[in-house]
Amino acid sequence: MDLRFTPEETAFREEVRAFIRNNLPKETRERLRMGHPPTKAETVQWQRALNARGWAAISWPKEWGGPGWSPVQRMIFLEENLAAPAPELLGFNITMIGPVLIQFGTEEQKKRFLPRAANLDDWWCQGFSEPGAGSDLASLKTAARREGDHYIVNGQKIWTSTAHNADWCFLLVRTNPAAAKRQEGISFLLVDMKTPGITVRPIISIDGSHHLNEVFFDDVKVPVEMRVHEENRGWDVAKFLLGNERVGIARLGKSRERIDFAKSLARETRSGGRPLSEDPAFRQRVAQLEVDLKGLEMMQLRVVSAYDKRRDGKPDPLSSAIKVRGSELLQATSELVMDVGGPQSMTAWAREADTASNEPALGPEWAAQAAGAYLMLRAASIYGGSNEIQKNILSKAVLRL
């Protein structure tokens, strides 16, 4: 055991940093620092820049365009990318559908979709949840009935993030309503979002943004060759995918970046007659978050390196622990930035509105964004399997209670 980074790993970190420094558009970095989520265009631009360097499909095998990194290198890369801050690789493409196709897909499916997913030529979305099937995903009702060499899909999905941006959707459907166990009647389909019969309706979330959607399927024809894995074995695919999704949610580089941002703001913010950064209570709060972050980093490194050695395709049950801690930390660090802004963070002024020169100036842009990020991150303990569900998994899979 040696927990120090090797000289090679340190050099790798420098290489990643230099690449980001030289290639990430300044405006993108500045917008993200101010707390804006990346736009679709920013995400596409950056993922293509990374892909051109061979750094987009980070967890995929080399033959499908992966960089052949060790788990530690992957973590270093993700951390540096988030800390920059740069737009994240699209999780639906890189951590979800890519590994699924590599594990379960046909040669055709891999050839057709993997290079396009890596380069973000296709934007994927995740059609799992339904109004009646959230935590209890296996109760999903969206039905696919076989007609010749097609499935006819009818039903409704909800909470489909970025479906309005998406070209393709990976979809869980019920193909055998009569199966003895609910999990045994589910299949995994790839659906072109332009197929007739698909309607996407926006859901506005509590931060005022449009991220979520309802997606309706009305006699949507999906070719049978767009099924991944065997018919009625879609649950295996879903479980594999959800295990990968969990670890991705931790995003600890994001938490680190927010802590550093809050520290820099606190040096400029006066409170009680001195910089907020000199307030012992504030410093303790930051110190505690840094301790939690370090703990999470160690846990993640352990799980990720063990995962590569296990090679049985099953996610480590401890990935649930990472999901819980990671989401809590993302929430706590967004709270920190919001609290630094104080009353200024409570404003919802539209920055886009023209500022006539004789109108009073509005406050700092980052503060107006801070509450939005805090609000949206309340969802981090809900999506990807709620934190209650993660604890149920730990109780059963690890503790055997």
Ligand X SMILES: Cc1cc2nc3c(=O)[nH]c(=O)nc-3n(C[C@H](O)[C@H](O)[C@H](O)COP(=O)(O)OP(=O)(O)OC[C@H]3O[C@@H](n4cnc5c(N)ncnc54)[C@H](O)[C@@H]3O)c2cc1C
Smaller CB distance to other proteins: residue 114 or 389? 389
Instruction: Decide: is 357 part of the binding site for other proteins (CB under 8 A).
Output: no
Chain positions 141 to 170 lying near ligand X, rule: CB under 6 A, are 159-161
Instruction: Decide: is 34 part of the binding site for other proteins (CB under 8 A).
Output: no
Instruction: Decide: is 208 part of the binding site for other proteins (CB under 8 A).
Output: yes
Q: Which residues fall within 8 angstroms of residue 52, CB to CB, at 6 or more apart? A: none
- Surface-to-core class of residue 32, CB atoms within 10 Å of its CB (0-12 exposed, 13-18 middle, 19+ buried): buried
Length of the chain: 401
For residue 284, give the amino acid letter. Q
- In 62-113, at which residue ranges do the beta strands (DSSP E only) sit? none
Long-range residue pairs from 55-60, CB within 8 A, at least 24 positions apart, any chain: 55/19, 56/89, 56/94, 56/118, 56/119, 56/120, 57/94, 57/98, 57/114, 57/117, 57/118, 58/89, 58/94, 59/94, 59/95, 59/98, 59/99, 60/94, 60/98, 60/99, 60/102, 60/114, 60/118
103 binds, among ligand X, other proteins, none (CB under 5 to 8 A by kind): none
Provide the minimum distance between the beta carbon of 139 and other proteins in the complex, in angstroms, as a whole number: 8
Nearest of 328, 306, 298, 316 to residue 394 by alpha carbon? 316
Interface pick for other proteins out of 343, 352, 400, 401 (rule CB under 8 A): 343
Instruction: Decide: is 230 part of the binding site for ligand X (CB under 6 A).
Output: no
160 binds, among other proteins, ligand X, none (CB under 5 to 8 A by kind): ligand X
Smaller CB distance to ligand X: residue 252 or 389? 389
Coil, strand or helix: which one is 141?
coil
Chain positions 120 to 179 lying near other proteins, rule: CB under 8 A, are 129, 132, 134-136, 139, 158-159
* 214 is a catalytic site residue: no
Q: Which residues are catalytic?
A: 245
- Site of interaction with ligand X (CB under 6 A): 126-129, 134-135, 159-161, 212, 379, 382-383, 386, 388-389, 392
List interacting residues with other proteins (CB under 8 A).
Answer: 129, 132, 134-136, 139, 158-159, 203-206, 208, 212, 269-273, 276, 279, 281-282, 285, 338-339, 342-350, 358-363, 371, 374-376, 378-379, 381-383, 386-388, 391
